[in-house]
Chain A
Amino acid sequence: MHIKIRKFIPCFLSITLLLGTLSCGGSSSTNQTSPFLADYSAILDALANQVAIPTYQDLSLQASALRDAANQFQATPDDNNFQLLKLAWIAARVPWEQGEAFAFGPVGFEGFDASMDTWPIDLTGIATVLAAPDPIDLAFVQALGPSLKGYHVIEFLIYGADSSKIPGDFTARELDYLVAACQHLTDLASDLLDSWTIGINGAAPFADTLTTAGPGNLIYPTQGAAVLEIFFAMTGTLDEVANSKIGGPLEHQDPFLIESLYSQNSLADFSSNVSGVKIVYETSLQLLVLQVNLLVDSILVGKLEAALAQLDLILPPFEITVFDPSQAASIQAAIDAILAAQTSFETIVLPYIPKPI
């Protein structure tokens, strides 16, 4: 699902107004009660080297495994290989969805998100591709638009429109498309990792960009700007999972708003998003919070664990449950729990985040 950049909501203004008013006088941010640190390097280094790079390394590995499973299924399209293929697709979703919790940097502005995870997919275009005589290979898929490749096209090819596909349903061209699309996804995952570790398109490694935040860094001219980026990525993910990914289909009762419709893997995607936020917090921003207030840390971790627990209480698959009125309360409870976590971060943690300037 397309990464959505987080937004402030109007009530945030009230918080800002309050904080701004309280800090008038100019000295409150530098007195002994200041929560601000002199150096945020450990937080930035942890996000880059203990979260982002390992997550993208895992993504690259899982995408390669998916490609291998597709190749194996094309060679021997039997039930066993089909089950392995499905498991490989589901496994490859985990690091991608966890990565949405820090979806800033090259994943957006270098175009990876659009090419790897666009929704909706172009069902008419897919049918036209499959009906045409042109060979379907990697170069062919590379040239296709974003709604004709990526996770959800692969998902559609594997599971079919009604999630009931069996090995005997696959045509030779579907297998060609599947294999080429998986290879393309693998290449993109590798490039995404490279963008953080060695740099692509002439840019510096993004891990270096993040960890060298400060004067002279055009993207993050202060460490505060970089810490704020991490914070907003986390809260934005919680907002999107609650309001768009779960709340959208629940409100509109539209199956085509569901995250992973064909595989019926949406609940796992939601949990990966929230667990991704938890990983980001517990690896990076927690370093800041723990220095200020142990109780705050336990509240935040508790909120995230409660959100994950509420997601676990939704009767799977979400793709059916969301249309069952008797299940609406459990879905709403999960939404509320995720939003409660988001609110806690915004109201409790944000004051500890240094202003960019």
Chain B
Amino acid sequence: MLWNFLIFILMMLSLSNCSSSETNAFLSGVLDRSLQGGATTLDDRSSGAFTNPAPNLNSLDFDLHEFGDENFEATFVDSGPLNPGLGPLFNNTSCVACHVGNGRGAPTIGSGILGSQLLVRVSIPAGIPEVPGGPGAVPGIGTQIQDHANVGSMPEATIQINYTENPGAYGDGTPFSLRSPSLVITPTGGPLPVDLMTSLRLPPPVFGLGLLEAIPEEVIENLADPSDSDGDGISGRTNHVWNPLTNQVELGRFGRKANTANLLLQAAGAYLEDMGVSNPVLLGGDLTPDISQQILDSTAFYTQTLAVPKAILLFDPQVIMGEALFKQINCSVCHVQQLMTGPSDISASLSFQVIFPYTDMLLHDMGTGLADDRPDFEATGTEWRTPPLWGIGATDIVLGSQATYLHDGRARSLEEAILWHDGEALQAKEAFRTFTLEEREAILAFLRSL
């Protein structure tokens, strides 16, 4: 551990392209927050910013990461000699087709050239959960609508998104408009239940996830304040979800509502639900899996060992001002800036890293405007897990004109994403809304530096 720490210090000193003042700042105890992923950080702000292997992987881990990369990019087809097993029902045909450049997906659904990168989760209150404690499944559909199918099969439904514009204004009178989505689901089978609950989901970025997985459970539990005992108006709860591998309830970490315990299960679920590709963890009714355990493991490993892009402009006055305001208005209470990973049994590269993810991994009530009104394990219909903000500044270069934010891609800019905050984040949102233009731009400059 000491050796790891020494290497970490050396890397920070050299990677930071340091000036003497920067070095002094570090030596005086200020950790370099540009190294957002600790030693897994890499200085890349190109459109491939999220696609790099963590630079501290050993050769064995690097080879496994590369194999996982191939599998993450693999396009599945119905049958044939290469990558068979797609469907018959699915949302998209490869991991990377939705996680564009390993970032978030585009807010698209249907048969256009971008296909369905959004998906719709469904459940009914009286439905039978597919796993203990989970959402009630919709008979004949399950908990996710597959809106594509192999040739010769029918998808479960076609889905259309309509948007309503909601005008508003900043404190200085500058107008803005927020769009809220509504779904038109046309089933190909029988009618949908009248009490159907839906949740539109935009794929999240997949880099840095191994670090989040390596945060000790007690650290996350200690950040929780379910009864708001400190009276700051912000609570934060953990989700507890079923792990079919251990057959027990565990801390939920991943997914928009922290409804998945670990990345292996996340990958297994994506293969089965998003692509119709059965696997050794989730067979989905198949007698034999479409992919091997080796492929599943490598895909999960790929998402565990991607580099986190380095933050930029640390000493830019506007960014410094934005960071101060970010903390002043309590954004950082949920978007926790600094955490430390524990020992990782996935890769030594992930162990004991000081990271700057800007998440507490907790569920927060975000108000009725963002609510999907669809409980997911212990998460209520208004709760969402705090998304990490590291790398969010590279979203535009990765996704270009398709860059959107929040769980369903409704926010067309970072400003809109902030303005949608409500519930526990109402005070922070209002502070931003009533800031001067200079202050708002400083906050945005800080976010774009991450």
Contacts and interface: CB of A to CB of B under 8 A. Distances in A.
A302 B213 CA distance: 47
Interface stretch (B109-117, B257-265, B419-427): B109-117
Interface in A197-253: 201-203, 206, 209, 218-221, 225, 228-229, 232, 236
A5 interface: yes
Given A25-B19, A114-B113, A188-B113, A221 B93 contact: no
Interface in A1-58: 2, 4-10, 12-13, 16-18, 20-21, 23-26
Contacts of B114: 110-111
A124 B79 contact: yes
B209 interface: no
A24 B48 contact: no
A147 interface: yes
Interface stretch (B80-88, B185-193, B321-329, B338-346): B80-88
Nearest to A199: B401
A206 B47 CA distance: 14
Interface in A178-203: 188, 201-203
B398 interface: yes
Given A7-B51, A12-B55, A20 B82 contact: no
B252 to A, nearest CB: 30
Contacts of B118: none
A310 to B, nearest CB: 24
Contacts of A7: 48, 51-53, 69
B89 to A, nearest CB: 13
Contact of B77 (A20, A111, A147): A147
A6 B33 CA distance: 26
B55 A105 contact: no
Interface string B59-87: 10010000001000101011111110010
Contacts of A356: 45-46, 312
B435 to A, nearest CB: 20
Q: Which of A10, A110, A145, A203 has the most CB of B within 10 A?
A: A145
A355 B53 contact: no
A352 interface: no
A20 B21 CA distance: 15
Q: Which of B42, B57, B401 has the most CB of A within 10 A?
A: B401
B45 A228 contact: yes
Interface stretch (A59-67, A81-89, A125-133, A262-270): A125-133
A330 interface: no
Query: Which size bracket describes the interface of B in this complex?
Result: 35 or more
B182 interface: no
B152 interface: yes
Nearest to B398: A109
A218 B403 CA distance: 11
Contact of B17 (A188, A219, A257, A355): A355
Contacts of B81: 120, 256
B20 A25 contact: yes
A98 to B, nearest CB: 19
B131 interface: no
Given A5-B47, A219-B396, A119 B151 contact: no
Nearest to A115: B113
A6 B16 CA distance: 23
Nearest to A8: B52
A357 interface: yes
A147 B75 contact: yes
Contacts of A229: 46-47, 397
Q: Which of B69, B75, B100, B396 has the most CB of A within 10 A?
A: B75
B16 A256 contact: no
Contact of A106 (B11, B19, B400): B400
The 3 closest A-B pairs by CB, nearest first: A26-B19, A203-B401, A13-B55
Interface of B: 11, 13-23, 42-48, 51-53, 55-57, 59, 62, 69, 73, 75, 77-83, 86, 93, 97, 100-101, 106, 111-115, 148, 150-152, 307, 312-313, 396-402, 448
8 contacts: A2-B75, A5-B47, A10-B62, A20-B18, A132-B151, A146-B93, A218-B396, A232-B44
Given A4-B73, A124-B78, 18 more contacts: A5-B101, A10-B55, A12-B55, A16-B55, A21-B13, A26-B21, A106-B401, A109-B101, A115-B113, A119-B75, A125-B77, A144-B151, A209-B400, A218-B396, A225-B397, A232-B46, A355-B43, A357-B313
